[in-house]
Amino acid sequence: MREGSLEAPKRHPLDWKGEAFYDEGALEKELGRVFDICHGCRRCVNLCTAFPTLFDLVDASPTLEVDGVAKQDFRKVVDQCYLCDMCFMTKCPYVPPHPWNVDFPHLMLRAKAAKFAKGETGRRDRLLTSTDALGKLAAIPVVAQAVNAMNRSKPARVLMERVLKVHRNRELPPYAAKRFRSHAARSGELPVRDGKSTPGKVAVFSTCYVNYNEPGIGHDLLAILAHNRIPYVLVGEEACCGMPKLELGDLASVERLKNENVPRLAPLARQGYAILAPVPSCTLMFKQELPLLFPDDPDLKAVQDAMFDPFEYFVLRNRDGLLERDFQRPLGKVSYHIPCHSRVQNMGQKTREMLEMVPGTQVNTVERCAGHDGTWGVKLEYFENSMKIGRPVFRAMAAGEPDAVSSDCPIACRHIRQGMAGEAPGARSAHPLALLRKAYAI
């Protein structure tokens, strides 16, 4: 048995429809096996609060080993994991193809799925992960104004904390009065210029967040595509990518959403469109998570092959000699946070690479988990931990008196600015697509 592995991590498909996946005895046995390996290694202790929780349980047990930890306490570890995948991708030496076959995040997903299947998931968690339903309601202009006002009201937030267990101090993203999809600019009639690495036409999967919360991100993407003479279409209809439900362990809802999205996306993929999603978690869902859950779906495979992160696409267009480099404005000092769900895509730091093409731009790249992760960081019981995990990121992002603070994940950026508090007061928050649009002066 070799110690550690020098090979690239490799993930196996999840047999989530098999009975063994949800068998309580088999699950507890596998949790015990993997926890024992983690206890003997402890390399991931500084990544999040899941590993310190596990090690504290072991160190407080009568045997000082995993066999001394009560099985019901395993859930305390599971609840602290928000599936960022950083342990699997950057730290653990025992991931497959190592014989020990440790995939900590997917084991936590299995435990979350078992919990959901037993009906032990609370109403709050089911509500917060229903992004399409919440967005469609809250994006009605009058409702949006009321929701935004409530989110800014201290008394309303106290009530929300009591009823929904959403922490009163968490800054929540506002809902937009105008949805992105209903106000998106139409593409001009442009010739398709395929490159060696990139299709010359784009289909935009707008995502729930861009459609309902920050439509400006989508408008920036379309403006950049138009400036680069890339014809585009919006995906005709779309549902949530399913990432919030995945993190909840609601795999049946993930399948339902996949069955809504893939029939709309697959024809576009087969027609030669690059599919761009401006939120990293959504891109990752189609690139990795869904294919591991549904490995035998040929339509999903076509979508997977056509899916690009926007900056991955732009950098490849530049390599193809098809990207406009007529930048008009410098961006100054940019503190850029690369989200976990961008790192897991194994494409490199494409956003940093793109921003550094702009003359007069200095990028400070922070490559560490910020600790928010979708709905996890808004919850009453996890808010303090999310701020604790993010502190090194907050400090690093404030260093050097930046002119702008940015992250591909808009929720992470909002979380980072909240954690920075009064630091770097002169820096403005801007999505990387907004920065690129500014550099083009369009």
pLDDT for residue 2: 61
Residue 3 has pLDDT above 70, yes or no: no
Residues found in the chain: 442
pLDDT for residue 1: 55
Instruction: Give residue 135's pLDDT band: very low, low, confident or very high (50, 70, 90).
Output: confident
CA nearest neighbour of 241 among 202, 289, 273, 274: 289
Q: How many CB atoms lie within 10 A of CB 207?
A: 27
CA nearest neighbour of 399 among 353, 431, 362: 362
Residue 429's Cβ-count burial label (10 Å; 0-12, 13-18, 19+) is middle
> What does the pLDDT average to over 274-286?
97
CA nearest neighbour of 377 among 147, 131, 84, 140: 84
Residue 394's Cβ-count burial label (10 Å; 0-12, 13-18, 19+) is buried
The answer for residues whose C-beta is within 8 angstroms of residue 231's C-beta and 6 or more apart is 187, 188, 189, 190, 191, 192, 200, 201, 202
Residue 362 has pLDDT above 60, yes or no: yes
Q: What is the pLDDT of residues 404-436, one digit of tens each?
A: 999 999 999 999 999 998 888 889 999 999 999
CA distance 96 to 312: 26
Residue 272 identity? G
Residue 19's Cβ-count burial label (10 Å; 0-12, 13-18, 19+) is exposed
Q: Does domain 327-440 have CATH number 3.40.50.1860?
A: yes
The answer for residues whose C-beta is within 8 angstroms of residue 25's C-beta and 6 or more apart is none
Q: What is the pLDDT of residues 233-277, one digit of tens each?
A: 999 889 999 999 999 999 999 999 999 999 999 999 999 999 999
